[in-house]
Structure 1
Amino acid sequence: MNNQAIVAKVLFDALNEHLTYEQIENLLEKPKHADHGDVAFPVFSLAKVFRKAPQQIAPEVLAQIDTTAFEKVEVVGAYLNFFMDKAKVSSQVLAQVAKEKNHYGDQTIGENRQVPIDMSSPNIAKPMSMGHLRSTVIGNSIGFLLEKVGYKPVRINHLGDWGTQFGKLIVAYKLWGTKEAVEQDPIAELLRLYVDFHEKAEEQPELEDQARAWFKKLEDGDEEALDLWRWFREESLKEFTDIYDLLEVKFDSYNGEAFYNDKMAEIVTMLEEKHLLKEDKGAEIVDLSAYDLNPALIRKSDGATLYITRDLAAALYRKRTYDFAQSIYVVGNEQSNHFKQLKAVLKELGFDWSEDMHHVPFGLITQGGKKLSTRKGKIILLADVLNEAIGLAAAQIAEKNPTLPNQEEVARQVGVGAVVFHDLKNDRLNNFDFTLEEVVRFEGETGPYVQYTHARCMSLLNKADFSIEQVTNFDLNDEASWEVIKFIQSYPEVVMQAAKLYEPSVIAKHAIKLAQAFNKYYANSKVLQEDDQRDARLALVYAVAVLLKEDLRLLGLHAPDQM
């Protein structure tokens, strides 16, 4: 039971004639300063009932409540300030972590039901840039968070392996490309052709018509078009796999857009049977004015389908395949209107489970405050960033700890972890600027700082030859340890909040605050001093190590024991 729940119960026992438990819980506050206690209760809402000034009510309420669970309860103006029994709370919290270890904070609300997560989804024949990092690592972390609260995540890489861009690429390849150039450096050459197409199409608009014609051939099963498409896809996947291996992100499905080619006809038939399709300038649309949305364009005048047709087929396929509790789409903020349309069309089809589909949007990574663009060729390659980060980490590790075993492996965990952590510590809806040197630092609010704090904890525990199983007394009552205990105690609520909001930054911020609180504690406490609280202090170190490692795991990162 957390501190607020303990206080709410005591107050409810005394005030249940006047306030419900939920009302009391909602009124409770966390004081900004530690000298005002751990939980505060304002009595203003009782003024009408008691017909007295709040300052007079507070002492009367204090007289009615059981204060034995607290170190003290003080009246300050119209507030009751509760100071928790530190020894009692620390004993309960540390004993629970000692028992549950990395399962501390686990929940069962998911009932093992499946949750498809549509994430990463790079476009074939284009390099993975820093722009792909967000969907990949946010989706991966949400998967771990949902697993932590009892769901079964299904990570889906909905590859961009279909669409008019393939018409453009085929035209560019046939006009200006060679087989040798593509085989030598597939992604770089395909990107060059793609950028060339857009530059030349500004002068020669007829190229766009040729691209549309080639894509139509591809949709119709033209063998030459299909052969080129398969080749582009295979070469791209090789490079993607190298990056996913570096990030240690694994997928349960690589079913991309092409997978749904034979599944769209059913959706169109359903729309026709329900008389939802309307003709508009030769194209077919679904009117969504009832939802205050623009019409959903289902089929173009030339018969070609669009993203939404494919996504409708994908949504239905996923419901049938996974019978999902939720279906999540980790896709940029700019696509929010698309997902509103998608859900609205499914609702019109009578699929109420569309309410369980959630678009999880995110902001942009910028450089110098400017958006990164693929069409203009101004991109930062994700593989280059990760490898450079590993190099920066390796240099710092070699300087700090030249005798460290497995330096190469630790440098990879720290370097890649630094890039991922920097992304995930930002609220996902926020845009943020990226500077690699700032990210791979061992000080400040960084991934390496959290990892280094975990390694410091492990070093202390090894030095003390500590075993958590041998601890019999977990009581700690000093102010320094109390600040750390509160971050450990709040962990189950932190996990639940992060999972409900699909917000990994909640976990990253907890990791930073816990690391900061522990380092302050470590600097001001003689942890290894031989006295009757030594084991309890080491149990605190153990609990911090467990939670930092679990925080990092939920973000998709490692916690090296040595750095």
Structure 2
Amino acid sequence: MEKEIIALQLAHILGEEFTPEDLKQKLEQPKHSSHGDIAFPCFFLARHFRKNPQNIAEDVSAQLNHPIFADTEALHGYVNIFLDQSFMTDHILRRATHIDYGRHRFGNGERVVLDLSAPNIAKPFSMGHLRSTIIGNSLGLLAEYCGYKPVKINYIGDYGTQFGHLLAAYERWGDKDTLQENPLKMLSDIYVRFHEEAKQNPSLTEAGRDWFKRLEEGEEEAAALWSRFRELSLEEFDKIYKQLDITFDLTRGEAYYSDKMGETIAILEEKGLLEQSEGALVVRLDEYDLPPCLIVKSNGTTTYATRDLTAAIDRYRAYHFAESLYVVGNEQTLHFEQIRKVLEKAGFLWASSMKHISFGMMLQDGKKMSTRKGRTILLEDVLEEARERAGGNADIGTGAVIFHDLKHQRQNDVEFSLDDMLTFEGNTGPYLQYTYARAVSLTEKADFDFRTDLKDGSAWELVKQLHLFPDETKRAFIQKDPSVIARYLLKLSKHFNQYYAHTKILQTDQMNQRLTLVQAVITVLKKGLHLLGMKTVEKM
């Protein structure tokens, strides 16, 4: 509200060359409260008006006038605007105690498809797969909160050359009884062994290629073994998703497209895009300074790219999405750029709506986790230890794991550390949940009437933080980065705890108003934690 008012007044003062929309984007939040609540920099106006920025600021400050302004000042080329705290507090508390506070409608009910999690069958669910899972889940929750209809797809890795390697490994070292008792451990162990021994024995790699070709051709033994591996893997994955409280609208593996890729190849051929290259079929992307996209290998087998192209076409036919988000690590950036460009060359106009939501790696001692090299930490083990360290409370333990990841800017790598996750001090999930429980305990100590006419200057910084929540939910979705919400919640909690430490909330004639403020904090914290995929805890 206040930014729109300021932008309209600025446009009137500065002239028709400047639109309210552009001027609104120029408004800043001062670093120090002594410089007001909103600042307007005048430096970019100096050339236009051929005046010193400070003189422009003085002219603008003298003309700004509205009941919500308590004062304005010109300082060092900025117009600093001080809002009427009583008016704004009443306005903000009325909104912030509403259950839908921070919700937007700009999605207009359009669909956003999210490709997330996507673990590989026959491998344990490691910490390395956590990032895609919880970043994607949070983006789905944010999409819904911004008015879209999210469609979360778990695109299981159940096809490709690596499964030929696994089948070859099982032929040599597999055991039916062990497979039934602990499927993912056994399959992971023989997969690691295969790659270790293949370094000295190249015939193993060739055997793996043969097994994958048998699988692609539907040979009975290969298909039966693969189906068993898949069934047991999905059962184990579901246990993890239940602990994380994450569901999907569709779980579909790459193998689903094994009999549908022929149409994709035919489309590319019809468009004249396929070229021979050393016995393989590729789509050249020279005009984009990208390497060729491999569609069919020289031995006749298809590729990861062929399946992704087919899946993209299938998803648009099914959902007519406004956006299709691939929540996959940074290392796949080239792959998704190739996929998008191939689809664009083939004439699919919606290809521009496909976006790679890349993220940094989960590191262990500074190194990437790797199942193939036997260097990984199992998410199941981490969740169990987190629960134990949290006194048996699974919500606190799981929330700690989720928040430790999501507080990092999406593109950054994350160093795994249980100790850092579970401390109750600092930038952690338990700190936020403790803050929420503390706020709830205050409202339970006294009956109170909702009163928004709070006259308390010491609450102003906390009120301003509450006021930012709608902007932050929008920004988090637009930037496709849940860390925006995580960092916001930390700031909100810090301001609340400072207010709590220095204010008598219950012993005052302003008790109703102050508890209304506390209730607003509870509402925003609960919604913010939900948008990160975390549960709240009433008592700690």
TM-score, length of structure 1 as denominator length: 0.93
Given candidates 397, 403, 423, the residue that maps to 1:441 is 423
Q: In structure 1, what is the equivalent of residue 207 of structure 2?
A: 210
Unaligned runs of 5+ in 1: 395-407
Pairs within 5 Å for 1:479-518: 479-518=457-496
The one-letter code sitting in structure 2 at the alignment partner of 1:508 is A
Given candidates 99, 112, 116, the residue that maps to 1:119 is 116
Q: In structure 2, what is the equivalent of residue 96 of structure 1?
A: 95
CA change 1:266–1:561 in 2 (3 A) is same
The one-letter code sitting in structure 1 at the alignment partner of 2:425 is E
Tell me by how many angstroms 1:501 deviates.
Answer: 1.1
What per-residue deviation string (whole Å, max 9, x for no partner) do you get for residues 192-227 of structure 1? 110111011111101111111111111111000011
Pairs within 5 Å for 1:353-502: 353-394=350-391, 408=392, 411-466=393-448, 470-471=449-450, 473-502=451-480
Pairs within 5 Å for 1:1-400: 1=1, 3-17=2-16, 19-48=18-47, 51-98=50-97, 100-101=98-99, 103-394=100-391
Tell me by how many angstroms 1:31 deviates.
Answer: 1.5
Tell me by how many angstroms 1:17 deviates.
Answer: 4.9
In the alignment, the residues of structure 1 paired with residue 48 and residue 352 of structure 2 have an alpha-carbon distance, to the nearest angstrom, of 42
What per-residue deviation string (whole Å, max 9, x for no partner) do you get for residues 282-335 of structure 1? 100011111111001100111100000000110010000111111111001000
| Paired-residue identity, % | 49
Unaligned runs of 5+ in 2: none
Tell me by how many angstroms 1:47 deviates.
Answer: 4.1
The one-letter code sitting in structure 1 at the alignment partner of 2:390 is A
Query: In 2, are the aligned partners of 1:116 and 1:155 still within 8 Å (CA)?
Result: yes
What per-residue deviation string (whole Å, max 9, x for no partner) do you get for residues 405-454 of structure 1? xxx5xx10000000000100000100121110111111111011111111
CA change 1:293–1:80 in 2 (3 A) is same
Tell me by how many angstroms 1:121 deviates.
Answer: 0.6
Tell me by how many angstroms 1:54 deviates.
Answer: 3.6
Tell me by how many angstroms 1:128 deviates.
Answer: 0.6
In the alignment, the residues of structure 2 paired with residue 382 and residue 110 of structure 1 have an alpha-carbon distance, to the nearest angstrom, of 34
Q: In structure 2, what is the equivalent of residue 524 of structure 1?
A: 502
In the alignment, the residues of structure 1 paired with residue 41 and residue 430 of structure 2 have an alpha-carbon distance, to the nearest angstrom, of 41
In the alignment, the residues of structure 1 paired with residue 334 and residue 49 of structure 2 have an alpha-carbon distance, to the nearest angstrom, of 51
CA change 1:452–1:285 in 2 (3 A) is same
Give the secondary structure class of the aligned counterpart of 1:328: strand
Say whether 1:553 aligns with 2:530: yes
Size of the alignment, in residue pairs? 540
What per-residue deviation string (whole Å, max 9, x for no partner) do you get for residues 35-54 of structure 1? 11111223344445655444
In the alignment, the residues of structure 2 paired with residue 522 and residue 55 of structure 1 have an alpha-carbon distance, to the nearest angstrom, of 39
The one-letter code sitting in structure 1 at the alignment partner of 2:518 is V
Tell me by how many angstroms 1:477 deviates.
Answer: 4.2
In the alignment, the residues of structure 1 paired with residue 45 and residue 199 of structure 2 have an alpha-carbon distance, to the nearest angstrom, of 70
CA change 1:233–1:80 in 2 (3 A) is same
Give the secondary structure class of the aligned counterpart of 1:244: helix
Query: In 2, are the aligned partners of 1:67 and 1:73 still within 8 Å (CA)?
Result: no
Tell me by how many angstroms 1:476 deviates.
Answer: 2.9
Give the secondary structure class of the aligned counterpart of 2:156: coil
Query: In 2, are the aligned partners of 1:7 and 1:82 still within 8 Å (CA)?
Result: no
The one-letter code sitting in structure 2 at the alignment partner of 1:312 is L
In the alignment, the residues of structure 2 paired with residue 277 and residue 49 of structure 1 have an alpha-carbon distance, to the nearest angstrom, of 54
TM-score, length of structure 2 as denominator length: 0.97
Query: In 2, are the aligned partners of 1:117 and 1:329 still within 8 Å (CA)?
Result: yes
Give the secondary structure class of the aligned counterpart of 2:250: coil
CA RMSD of aligned residues (A): 1.5
The one-letter code sitting in structure 2 at the alignment partner of 1:432 is V
In the alignment, the residues of structure 1 paired with residue 419 and residue 289 of structure 2 have an alpha-carbon distance, to the nearest angstrom, of 46
Query: In 2, are the aligned partners of 1:445 and 1:512 still within 8 Å (CA)?
Result: yes
The one-letter code sitting in structure 2 at the alignment partner of 1:513 is K
CA change 1:48–1:424 in 2 (3 A) is closer
The one-letter code sitting in structure 1 at the alignment partner of 2:381 is D
Query: In 2, are the aligned partners of 1:283 and 1:299 still within 8 Å (CA)?
Result: yes
Tell me by how many angstroms 1:97 deviates.
Answer: 2.3
CA change 1:530–1:257 in 2 (3 A) is same
Query: In 1, are the aligned partners of 2:64 and 2:72 still within 8 Å (CA)?
Result: no
In the alignment, the residues of structure 2 paired with residue 481 and residue 412 of structure 1 have an alpha-carbon distance, to the nearest angstrom, of 34
In the alignment, the residues of structure 2 paired with residue 204 and residue 548 of structure 1 have an alpha-carbon distance, to the nearest angstrom, of 57
In the alignment, the residues of structure 1 paired with residue 398 and residue 91 of structure 2 have an alpha-carbon distance, to the nearest angstrom, of 36
In the alignment, the residues of structure 2 paired with residue 23 and residue 324 of structure 1 have an alpha-carbon distance, to the nearest angstrom, of 29
The one-letter code sitting in structure 2 at the alignment partner of 1:144 is L
Query: In 1, are the aligned partners of 2:96 and 2:467 still within 8 Å (CA)?
Result: no
In the alignment, the residues of structure 2 paired with residue 393 and residue 67 of structure 1 have an alpha-carbon distance, to the nearest angstrom, of 51
In the alignment, the residues of structure 2 paired with residue 75 and residue 225 of structure 1 have an alpha-carbon distance, to the nearest angstrom, of 76
